[in-house]
Amino acid sequence: MELYEEKARLRKELKKRRHNLNNDTRKEKSEQIAQTFYQIKEFKEASSVFCYLSYMDEVDTTRLVKYILKKNLKLYVPKIINNEEMVATRLRKMADLEPDKIGILTPKTGEILLESIDIAITPGLGFTKRCERLGYGRGYYDRWFSKNHVKIKIGVAFETQLVSSLPLEKTDIAMDILITEKKVIKKK
Protein backbone atom coordinates (compact mmCIF):
# COMPACT_ATOMS: atom_id res chain seq x y z
CA MET A 1 0.00 0.00 0.00
CA GLU A 2 1.21 3.51 -0.79
CA LEU A 3 2.21 5.57 2.21
CA TYR A 4 -0.50 8.18 1.73
CA GLU A 5 -3.10 5.40 1.50
CA GLU A 6 -1.82 3.90 4.71
CA LYS A 7 -2.03 7.31 6.37
CA ALA A 8 -5.59 7.75 5.11
CA ARG A 9 -6.63 4.33 6.39
CA LEU A 10 -5.13 5.03 9.82
CA ARG A 11 -6.74 8.46 10.04
CA LYS A 12 -10.14 6.87 9.47
CA GLU A 13 -9.53 4.23 12.14
CA LEU A 14 -8.19 6.73 14.67
CA LYS A 15 -11.06 9.18 14.09
CA LYS A 16 -13.43 6.32 14.84
CA ARG A 17 -11.60 5.43 18.06
CA ARG A 18 -11.71 9.00 19.27
CA HIS A 19 -15.34 9.39 18.29
CA ASN A 20 -16.25 6.25 20.24
CA LEU A 21 -15.36 7.94 23.53
CA ASN A 22 -18.50 9.67 24.77
CA ASN A 23 -18.59 13.44 25.31
CA ASP A 24 -18.36 13.24 29.10
CA THR A 25 -15.41 10.86 28.91
CA ARG A 26 -13.66 13.14 26.45
CA LYS A 27 -14.25 16.16 28.74
CA GLU A 28 -12.95 14.28 31.78
CA LYS A 29 -9.84 12.99 30.02
CA SER A 30 -9.19 16.45 28.55
CA GLU A 31 -9.29 17.90 32.05
CA GLN A 32 -6.79 15.26 33.25
CA ILE A 33 -4.50 16.15 30.36
CA ALA A 34 -4.77 19.87 31.24
CA GLN A 35 -4.00 19.19 34.92
CA THR A 36 -0.90 17.23 33.91
CA PHE A 37 0.18 19.99 31.58
CA TYR A 38 -0.02 22.64 34.35
CA GLN A 39 2.41 20.59 36.40
CA ILE A 40 5.19 19.90 33.95
CA LYS A 41 8.34 21.95 34.41
CA GLU A 42 8.38 22.97 30.73
CA PHE A 43 5.05 24.76 31.18
CA LYS A 44 5.98 26.27 34.54
CA GLU A 45 9.03 27.81 32.89
CA ALA A 46 7.23 29.02 29.74
CA SER A 47 6.35 32.61 28.98
CA SER A 48 4.83 32.10 25.53
CA VAL A 49 2.52 29.30 24.43
CA PHE A 50 0.87 28.35 21.16
CA CYS A 51 -2.28 26.26 21.65
CA TYR A 52 -4.89 24.96 19.21
CA LEU A 53 -8.57 25.63 19.88
CA SER A 54 -10.31 22.29 20.02
CA TYR A 55 -12.97 21.30 17.54
CA MET A 56 -15.40 18.36 17.68
CA ASP A 57 -13.82 15.23 19.21
CA GLU A 58 -10.35 16.68 19.85
CA VAL A 59 -8.81 16.89 23.31
CA ASP A 60 -10.70 19.90 24.68
CA THR A 61 -8.36 22.84 25.21
CA THR A 62 -10.94 25.47 26.27
CA ARG A 63 -10.03 25.44 29.98
CA LEU A 64 -6.34 25.23 29.16
CA VAL A 65 -6.50 28.29 26.93
CA LYS A 66 -8.38 30.29 29.59
CA TYR A 67 -5.81 29.23 32.18
CA ILE A 68 -2.95 30.40 29.96
CA LEU A 69 -4.68 33.78 29.54
CA LYS A 70 -5.32 34.06 33.27
CA LYS A 71 -1.63 33.42 33.94
CA ASN A 72 -0.83 36.34 31.62
CA LEU A 73 1.36 34.26 29.35
CA LYS A 74 1.71 35.28 25.72
CA LEU A 75 -0.83 33.12 23.93
CA TYR A 76 -0.96 32.36 20.21
CA VAL A 77 -3.58 30.26 18.43
CA PRO A 78 -3.78 28.86 14.90
CA LYS A 79 -5.33 30.67 11.97
CA ILE A 80 -5.59 28.93 8.60
CA ILE A 81 -4.93 31.50 5.89
CA ASN A 82 -5.06 29.34 2.76
CA ASN A 83 -4.85 25.72 1.55
CA GLU A 84 -1.30 25.36 2.71
CA GLU A 85 -0.57 27.84 5.40
CA MET A 86 -1.38 28.25 9.05
CA VAL A 87 -0.12 31.16 11.13
CA ALA A 88 0.02 31.66 14.89
CA THR A 89 -2.05 34.68 15.92
CA ARG A 90 -1.87 36.44 19.28
CA LEU A 91 -4.99 35.99 21.40
CA ARG A 92 -5.58 38.39 24.29
CA LYS A 93 -9.14 37.49 25.21
CA MET A 94 -11.73 34.83 24.36
CA ALA A 95 -14.10 37.53 23.04
CA ASP A 96 -11.72 38.07 20.10
CA LEU A 97 -12.62 34.65 18.72
CA GLU A 98 -15.18 33.87 16.05
CA PRO A 99 -15.92 30.62 14.16
CA ASP A 100 -14.20 30.30 10.78
CA LYS A 101 -15.81 28.77 7.67
CA ILE A 102 -15.91 25.27 9.12
CA GLY A 103 -16.70 26.35 12.67
CA ILE A 104 -13.26 26.35 14.28
CA LEU A 105 -12.82 29.31 16.63
CA THR A 106 -10.30 31.73 15.15
CA PRO A 107 -9.08 35.19 16.26
CA LYS A 108 -10.67 38.19 14.54
CA THR A 109 -7.59 40.28 15.21
CA GLY A 110 -4.12 39.78 16.62
CA GLU A 111 -0.56 40.04 15.40
CA ILE A 112 1.18 37.08 13.79
CA LEU A 113 3.95 35.33 15.70
CA LEU A 114 7.34 36.30 14.33
CA GLU A 115 9.77 35.42 17.09
CA SER A 116 10.34 32.00 18.65
CA ILE A 117 7.90 30.47 21.09
CA ASP A 118 8.40 28.33 24.19
CA ILE A 119 5.68 25.70 23.79
CA ALA A 120 3.31 24.52 21.08
CA ILE A 121 0.36 22.39 22.17
CA THR A 122 -0.42 20.31 19.13
CA PRO A 123 -3.42 18.18 18.17
CA GLY A 124 -3.17 14.97 16.17
CA LEU A 125 -5.04 11.83 15.24
CA GLY A 126 -2.32 9.37 16.16
CA PHE A 127 0.94 9.33 18.08
CA THR A 128 3.58 6.73 18.91
CA LYS A 129 5.54 6.38 22.14
CA ARG A 130 8.46 7.84 20.21
CA CYS A 131 6.31 10.99 19.95
CA GLU A 132 5.81 10.66 16.21
CA ARG A 133 2.61 12.27 14.95
CA LEU A 134 -0.13 11.71 12.41
CA GLY A 135 -2.19 14.83 11.76
CA TYR A 136 -5.23 15.59 9.67
CA GLY A 137 -3.59 15.25 6.31
CA ARG A 138 -3.09 18.86 5.24
CA GLY A 139 0.44 19.30 6.50
CA TYR A 140 -0.43 22.59 8.24
CA TYR A 141 1.44 21.72 11.44
CA ASP A 142 4.40 20.10 9.68
CA ARG A 143 4.83 23.22 7.54
CA TRP A 144 4.36 25.58 10.46
CA PHE A 145 6.96 23.71 12.56
CA SER A 146 9.41 23.77 9.65
CA LYS A 147 9.13 27.59 9.47
CA ASN A 148 8.81 28.61 13.11
CA HIS A 149 11.13 28.10 16.01
CA VAL A 150 9.31 26.24 18.75
CA LYS A 151 11.38 25.25 21.79
CA ILE A 152 9.13 22.41 22.97
CA LYS A 153 6.47 20.72 20.88
CA ILE A 154 3.85 19.01 23.01
CA GLY A 155 1.31 16.61 21.52
CA VAL A 156 -1.93 16.02 23.42
CA ALA A 157 -4.10 12.98 22.77
CA PHE A 158 -6.33 10.41 24.38
CA GLU A 159 -4.62 7.15 25.26
CA THR A 160 -6.69 5.38 22.57
CA GLN A 161 -4.86 7.41 19.91
CA LEU A 162 -1.54 5.75 20.70
CA VAL A 163 -0.33 3.32 18.05
CA SER A 164 2.78 1.16 17.89
CA SER A 165 3.97 2.69 14.62
CA LEU A 166 2.98 5.22 11.97
CA PRO A 167 3.70 5.53 8.25
CA LEU A 168 5.96 8.58 8.15
CA GLU A 169 7.50 10.96 5.62
CA LYS A 170 10.61 13.12 5.96
CA THR A 171 8.39 16.18 6.47
CA ASP A 172 6.52 14.68 9.45
CA ILE A 173 7.73 16.45 12.54
CA ALA A 174 7.76 14.57 15.84
CA MET A 175 6.80 16.03 19.22
CA ASP A 176 9.21 16.43 22.15
CA ILE A 177 6.59 15.47 24.71
CA LEU A 178 3.29 13.65 24.49
CA ILE A 179 0.60 13.97 27.15
CA THR A 180 -2.35 11.59 27.46
CA GLU A 181 -4.82 11.20 30.34
CA LYS A 182 -2.61 8.37 31.62
CA LYS A 183 0.97 9.45 31.09
CA VAL A 184 3.63 11.85 29.93
CA ILE A 185 6.02 10.52 27.30
CA LYS A 186 9.25 12.31 26.51
CA LYS A 187 11.02 11.76 23.23
CA LYS A 188 14.32 9.99 23.80
Contact positions vs ligand ATP (CB under 6 A): 7, 134-143, 146, 169, 171-172
Residues from 144 through 183 that contact Mg ion (CB under 5 A): 172
The candidate with the shortest Cα–Cα distance to 43, out of 94, 118, 114, is 118
Give the nearer residue to ligand ATP in terms of CB position, either 43 or 140: 140
Sheet containing strand 86-90, edge to edge, reads: 86-90, 74-80, 48-51, 117-122, 150-156, 177-179, 184-186
Rounded to the nearest whole angstrom, what is the least distance from the CB of residue 11 to ligand ATP in the complex? 7
Residue 137 binds what, of Mg ion, ligand ATP, none (CB under 5 to 8 Å, by partner type)? ligand ATP
Sequence letter at residue 25: T
Nearer to ligand ATP, 45 or 84 (CB): 84
Q: Please state, in angstroms and rounded to a whole number, the distance separating the CA atoms of residues 19 and 172.
A: 24
By CB under 5 A, how many residues form the interface with Mg ion? Answer: 3
Closest approach, Cβ 118 to ligand ATP, in A, equals 20
Rounded to whole angstroms, the Cα distance separating 63 from 34 reads: 8
